[in-house]
Homo-oligomer: A and B are copies of this chain.
Amino acid sequence: MSTVEEAINALRSGKFVLLHDSDIRENEIDMVIAAEFVRPEHIATMRSVAGGLICLGLEYEIANKLGLMYMYEILRDHKSLYKLASNKAPYGDKPSFSLWINHNDTFTGITDMDRSLTISKMAYVCKRIDLDGKEYFFDNFRAPGHVPLLIAAKGLLHSRKGHTELCTYLAKLSGLTSCVVICEMLDSISYKALSFEKAREYADINNIPLIEGSQLHDHLAISQKQ
């Protein structure tokens, strides 16, 4: 297993980190990269190697300042569609999904260049959240689009232990904007989530740190004692 410090160094250098949540939750490994460093080749790598949805996780406080809401909240208020929003996932959590967005300078919104643009401009919004970030967001993005926003739970790891919270916490530890891209690693043989062993093999070959959610929980516990 890699150390939390190795993961922090990779994230700060604009490199990928692999992050396993827990055997007793989704039991899934996500590719993680800080949004501010994303370029088209990272999108191509995530869709080719990982294969899940390329999502953008935001810290709760940033989403709140933007006036964003969870999608289940938007649907819960809807006169006919509310019933679909009442179910929890089998692992017990409410989904982190908010809106799906495109930057206005994208064309179809789906190409590697387009998704990279949407993601890097959203990192810009988050960096400037206490300046003109909100104004820029409403002037320059449209929804629905091709990049799903995920909102980390208020209180982060104290409230929810999903990839959204884990990667947002890791970004904070790294001193980066809490705006992080994650993509689930899937397996074309079993048609299930990629196993820990296969992810370990990919991490070793490509010199990418692989960490467990529990390491971040331990890190949080130790930092709170100090």
Contacts and interface: CB of A to CB of B under 8 A. Distances in A.
Interface of A: 26, 28, 40-41, 43-44, 47-48, 51-53, 67-69, 71-72, 74-75, 78, 80-81, 83-87, 89-91, 95, 97, 99-101, 104, 106-113, 116, 138, 141-146, 148, 184, 186, 188, 191-193
A84 B186 contact: no
Given A28-B108, A78-B74, A81-B99, A44 B188 contact: yes
14 contacts: A26-B108, A44-B188, A47-B51, A52-B110, A67-B80, A71-B143, A74-B78, A74-B81, A75-B144, A85-B143, A97-B144, A110-B186, A110-B193, A112-B186
Q: How many copies does the complex hold?
A: 2
A69 B44 contact: no
A28 B114 CA distance: 14
Given A74-B74, A81-B99, A146 B192 contact: no
Contacts of A48: 48, 51, 188
Contacts of A104: 87
Contacts of A110: 52-53, 184, 186, 193
Nearest to A39: B191
Given A83-B138, A84-B141, A53 B146 contact: yes
B53 A67 contact: no
A204 B40 CA distance: 28
A15 B52 CA distance: 23
A104 B67 CA distance: 29
Nearest to A146: B53
A108 B78 contact: no
